[in-house]
Amino acid sequence: MKIGTMMPQAFDVTPVRADLPFAARITGLDPARLSDPDVRDALRNIWIDKGVLVFRGLEGEDVHLELSRIFGTLVQHPAREARAAHPELMTVRYKPESGWLIDVDGELRGTWLPWHSDLIYVDRINRGGILRPVQLPSHLGQTGFIDKIGAYQSLPDHLKWRIEGLNVIYKYDLDASHQKFGRTANPKMVRISPDVASIQARLDDFPRVLHPMVYEQRETGRKVLNVSPWFAVGIQGMENAEGDALLAEVADHIVGSSDVYLHDWEMGDMVLWDNWRTLHSATGCPPDEERWMLRTTIEGDYGLGRTEDDAAIDRAGYITV
Ligand SMILES: [Fe+2]
């Protein structure tokens, strides 16, 4: 008999919002139970089912790391990016005096990010990550999530038929004013950090990559509408008006979803997302307020991405957003 079956229920699972078919809130989880194999299996299963898990009431670096390791091996971030106490943690920080500043439809926002999947601009996209706040702004600073399984299910049949078997081309470019598809605002870069400036000065160094527009979630067979609006530049073999119109229609369908989960951060939150199956975005923070988050990154490769001409990728040359 498994020990776990004799124990009281390890945690509570509730929807983050009554009308939302993805994402779940996990409460009442005692950190001492994180080593229980049954608890670990249960959390992994809920993650695969729901895509985003919001943990409330967990605290601290050790719990952040132990919780993250339930879902896979963690990426060791280079020291330059990490600047955190632990190599498996990455700092995501906006500082008013020097941070990445964007004018979003006339409003200044620190580190505003459009809808995207992390690393979609390289061949290997990571499995996901867990974010937790260290310092939050008085308002804004939310993280948005869209479920790409739900987006596929709600796609009109004539589009499902047209996109089957197609690949989307992605190109690294951190200037969101260059985004071609699925735009939700008209952003203008006001100030970029030295790292971002260095990337933007050598965009030709980064090869174009391909990812399938549709694939099946390995564990469930559910189809995923695998389009990241940010960084998408076209459809392979259809870089013309017809292909651009098709990609625009699909991207607009995704970002126009009514099933958006916008997470309002509280201290003590940890949010896990499945980067293979969800998109995320950042509403950015007020320009004069600091926002400081720490994130883990779960390694992985869904095995479906590749460079357009099979070029080798210098992974150290990229900043992950
Ligand atoms: Fe991201």
d(CA 281, ligand 1 centre) in Å: 7
pLDDT for residue 4: 45
Can you read off the two tokens belonging to residue 93?
């920080």
d(CA 280, ligand 1 centre) in Å: 6
d(CA 3, ligand 1 centre) in Å: 38
* Type of residue numbered 103: D
d(CA 127, CA 278): 10
CB 236, CB 195: distance < 8 Å: no
pLDDT for residue 168: 98
pLDDT for residue 78: 63
* CA-based nearest residue to 308, from 242, 246, 247, 234: 234
d(CA 9, ligand 1 centre) in Å: 33
CB 39, CB 96: distance < 8 Å: no
pLDDT for residue 219: 97
d(CA 240, ligand 1 centre) in Å: 28
d(CA 321, ligand 1 centre) in Å: 4
Provide the domain count of the chain.
1
d(CA 296, ligand 1 centre) in Å: 12
d(CA 27, ligand 1 centre) in Å: 25
pTM metric for this prediction:
0.95
Range of the domain at 99: 3-317
d(CA 46, CA 261): 17
d(CA 69, ligand 1 centre) in Å: 19
d(CA 28, CA 58): 9
pLDDT for residue 309: 86
d(CA 162, ligand 1 centre) in Å: 28
d(CA 119, ligand 1 centre) in Å: 8
Kindly report the backbone phi and psi dihedral angles of residue 120, in degrees, each rounded to the nearest multiple of 5, phi listed first: -65, -15
d(CA 117, ligand 1 centre) in Å: 6
pLDDT for residue 320: 78
d(CA 259, ligand 1 centre) in Å: 19
* CA-based nearest residue to 107, from 283, 282, 293: 283
- We report the CATH number of the domain holding residue 189 as 3.60.130.10
d(CA 282, ligand 1 centre) in Å: 8
pLDDT for residue 3: 41
Q: Kindly give the confidence (pLDDT) of every residue in the chain, 321 residues in length, as a single tens digit, with 9 standing for 90 and above.
A: 334 445 668 999 999 999 999 999 999 999 999 999 999 999 999 999 999 999 999 999 999 999 999 999 999 876 554 456 789 999 999 999 999 999 999 999 999 999 999 999 999 999 999 999 999 999 999 999 999 999 999 999 999 999 999 999 999 999 999 999 999 999 999 999 888 898 999 999 899 999 999 999 999 999 999 999 999 999 999 999 999 999 999 999 999 999 999 999 999 999 999 999 999 999 999 999 999 999 999 999 999 999 998 888 888 788 878
d(CA 157, ligand 1 centre) in Å: 30
